[in-house]
Amino acid sequence: MNRIDARFAQLKSASRKALVPFISAGDPSPDGVVALLHALTESGADLIEIGVPFSDPMADGPVIQHASERALAKGVGLAQIFGWIAEFRKTDTTTPIVLMGYLNPVEIHGYERFAHDAVGAGVDGVLLVDCPLEESQAVGAIEAAGMRRIFLTAPTTSAARLAAMCEKARGFLYHVAFAGITGANRLSLDAVRERVAAIKARTATPVAVGFGVRDADSAAAIARFADAVVIGSALVETLAGAGSAQAACDAARAFLAPIRAALDAGSAAHAA
Amino acid sequence: MTIDYSHYPDSHGRFGDYGGIYVAETLIEPLAELTAAYTRLRDDPAFIAELDHDLKHYVGRPSPIYHAQRLSKKIGGAQILLKREDLNHTGAHKINNTVGQALVARHMGKTRIIAETGAGQHGVASATVAARLGLECVVYMGATDIERQKINVYRMKLLGAQVVPVTSGSKTLKDALNEAMRDWVTNVADTFYIIGTVAGPHPYPMMVRDFNAVVGREARAQMQSEYGRLPDALVACVGGGSNAIGLFHAFLNDADVRIVGAEAAGEGIATGHHAASLAAGRPGVLHGNRTYVLCDDNGQITQTHSVSAGLDYPGVGPEHAFLKDTGRAQYVGITDDEALAAFHELALSEGILAALESSHAVAQGIKLARGMEKDKLILVNLSGRGDKDVHTIAAREGLSL
Ligand SMILES: Cc1ncc(COP(=O)(O)O)c(C=O)c1O
């Protein structure tokens, strides 16, 4: 069974919500990535999104742009990222990993080769920001290899498209909370709640919400109606301030712990 | 099988394997709305009349075809004819597109215009039409380009636009485009993004081409009425490719007309310091479309170099990628030095200061003319005037003005 599906099934039966941290691969330090992944799972991550740095991240705000620039300056690319994931998988065989990135690095790597290498390393899902539903070339190879292709839904997505996505969705759907770039602060809970309800009315596939989730309060508020919360820029910014690989692990723990606690308190209250 | 080039792109915005819509989900619906609005307007007689009126009375069309006789005589080969887009209002072909897109923006009820710019010509052309329609205008421009195109930056400010320096990535045109896209995705409800070249997601490569295609339509009619025949060859410079496709499009089905695009070979393609995406790049995905891009083996877009800011772009319009693969057009590199030599040659023999971008086309026209008979005709798109470049040229020649 795909690890994403297994993890969401397990969470559902435990009435828990998924905490999904996003890190930008190779930032703050390429040497510390594997330890950082373990630190994330130890502090309550249910699934990890790893951003593949790209030179032209059109959908990202300054925090993730700068993280990508730093990693690229250190030569980080897909080959290394696959190596880190394979290393992580030696001791963690259950935490799902989703690669998130832009199409060109995948296109240049080659779709078949990308799918083969990713599965070999232990990747479970792929989210290509600039590759919409209609572009099937990438999907074919990713799904044939047993990974999940994760779709984004947005506040602007039309009802007809949403229906098509819900039909094709596997793993989980990632709802972008507002029209904007990563790291912006434009969260409107009511609008997101309405959207997530509309998605859930159409599919049993779990729904994650990302963009604008920054801390325990915003995470807990989202988790009241979504299955998973994705925390990206706020974490990346915290990690960027860490002076060493060890400090980054400590910072990740300190950052995630209250968020995990808030999510669990929310589920407990709900169950009671 | 002969290809009917007038049938592209298809309804998904594809030119063969190129083009398409590769953007974040948030922009899919706004792009669909834009496509719907534009395809309705382009067949609407009232819109066409409005556009034609602006092109005539505001832009100053038609632009003439000028026979560069002294230059042609000096070269001793084919006759060089210049399509004088430099004589348009604001000094380049860019205004053809901004006048058209601004009308679309107004019809869609948008109140805010954003644009990216490299050389500043498209920024000026956008600020110009925004001023005329009373729309707010924000122009994104790479910090490096702001430094080398100071006059255009000030022109934009005089026209009431806000120029936002972009300091991410390579601080040039591609980064300005990224930043404009980020603005658009954030302010999509009231904002119209006027892309300045035939790049970006569908419908931009088609729409920008259509608005510039007036150049080729006019030129085709002028050639027939003034010379009694079509030219033997067309030459245009290719940055994103809007002036080039503008000239080429009306001639694509004229198999006897040779078509050549001149890309920026910078310090020479072998040095790696260039912006020749078609001549030296490979198929990839950048800025919303599949096309030829300059990137490394990890798929990271590489830094480009050209003496002309307007050609300093690591991608190229998808229709050019298609024309390269079908063999209908040929794309060659012109170095900084060759472009500068052509700039001086044209200034001294014809009294025309061409933009550095256009000087690449002139250089390629001169090269072609040398190998052709005197009775052959080469039509070169003189896409813009060179006033904006005099500081750059002076600096390269060790002068400060
Ligand atoms: C005069 C002139 N010619 C050509 C270009 C290149 O653009 P395109 O290839 O889209 O025509 C520019 C861009 O700024 C320009 O200002």
pLDDT tens digit at each of 272 positions of chain A:
899 999 999 999 999 999 999 999 999 999 999 999 999 999 999 999 999 999 999 999 999 999 999 999 999 999 999 999 999 999 999 999 999 999 999 999 999 999 999 999 999 999 999 999 888 767 789 999 999 999 999 999 999 999 999 999 999 999 999 999 999 888 899 999 999 999 999 999 999 999 999 999 999 999 999 999 999 999 999 999 998 999 999 999 999 999 999 999 988 887 66
Shortest alpha-carbon distance between residue B20 and chain A (Å): 9
| pLDDT of the residue at B149 | 86
Crossing angle of helices B356-370 and B336-350, in 10° steps, is 80
Tell me how far apart the alpha carbons of residues A98 and A48 are, in angstroms, rounded to a whole number. Answer: 6
Residue of chain A nearest B173, judged by CA positions: A56
Q: Tell me the one-letter amino acid at A234.
A: A
Q: Is residue B1's pLDDT more than 70?
A: no
Q: Which residues pair with A14 in a beta bridge?
A: none
State the alpha helices, DSSP H only, in chain A: 3-13, 33-42, 62-73, 78-89, 103-109, 111-121, 136-144, 159-168, 189-200, 216-223, 233-240, 245-271
Give the pair of three-digit tokens for residue A180: 């904007």
From the list A165, A164, A135, the residue with the least C-alpha distance to A150 is A165
Tokens read off for A146: 């047993």
- B247 contacts B63 by C-beta, under 8 angstroms: no
> Which residues in chain A touch residue B21, judged by CB atoms under 8 angstroms apart?
132, 134
Q: Which residue of chain A is at minimal alpha-carbon distance from B188?
A: A179
Contact of B167 with chain A, judged by CB distance below 8 Å, is answered with no
The rounded distance, in Å, linking the Cα atoms of A187 and A220 is 13
Q: Which residue minimizes the CA distance to atom 5 of ligand 1?
A: B310
Contact B310, B124 (CB under 8 A): no
Query: For atom 10 of ligand 1, which residue has the closest CA?
Result: B242
Reduced to 3 states (helix: H, G, I; strand: E, B; else coil), residue B366 is: helix
Please give the pLDDT value at position B332: 98
What pLDDT does A272 receive? 61
Helix (H) or strand (E) holding B367: helix B356-370
Please state, in angstroms and rounded to a whole number, the distance separating the CA atoms of residues B311 and A36: 42
Spatial distance between the Cα atoms of B93 and A81, rounded to a whole number of angstroms: 45
Shortest Cα distance, chain B CAs vs residue A159, angstroms: 11
Q: Does the beta-carbon distance from B23 to A132 stay under 8 Å?
A: yes
Report how far apart, in Å, the C-alpha atoms of B364 and of each of A25, B325, B340, B373 are: 45, 21, 12, 16
| pLDDT 10s digits, B227-260 | 999 999 999 999 999 999 999 999 999 999 999 9
Q: What is the pLDDT of residues A145-194, one digit of tens each?
A: 999 999 999 999 999 999 999 999 999 999 999 999 999 888 899 999 99
CB contact under 8 A, A156 and B188: yes
User: Is the Cα dihedral B276, B282, B285, B289 positive or negative?
Assistant: positive
* Contact status of A160 with chain B (Cβ, < 8 Å): no
Amino acid A175: pLDDT: 97
**pLDDT-above-70 percentage for chain B:** 100
d(CA A175, CA A172): 10
Angle made by CA atoms A158, A162, A168, in degrees to the nearest 5 = 150
CA B367 / ligand 1 centre spacing (Å): 21
Shortest alpha-carbon distance between residue B387 and chain A (Å): 32
Q: What is the mean pLDDT of residues B321-350?
A: 98
State which amino acid sits at residue A257: A
The answer to whether the CB atoms of A152 and B188 lie below 8 A apart is no
- Going from the Cα of B307 to the center of ligand 1, the distance in angstroms, rounded, reads 13
Contact A104 B27 (CB under 8 A): no
Nearest to B244 by CA among B264, B230, B257, B261: B261
B286 reaches A (C-beta below 8 A):
yes
State both tokens at B147: 């430094």
Query: What's phi and psi for A130, nearest 5 deg?
Result: -105, 25
How many inter-chain contacts (A to B, CB under 8 Å) are there?
119
Residue bearing the CA closest to ligand 1, atom 1? B384
Among A57, A60, A78, the residue with its CB nearest the CB of B298 is A78
Q: Is B82:B352 a contact under the CB 8 Å cutoff?
A: yes
pLDDT of residue B244: 99
CA of B218 to the centre of ligand 1 (A): 19
C-beta atoms of A56 and B285 within 8 A: no
Q: Does A233 touch chain B (CB under 8 A)?
A: no
Reported ipTM exceeds the 0.85 cut? yes
Output the pLDDT for position A35.
98
d(C-alpha B258, C-alpha A201), whole Å: 58
Check if B188 contacts A (Cβ < 8 Å).
yes
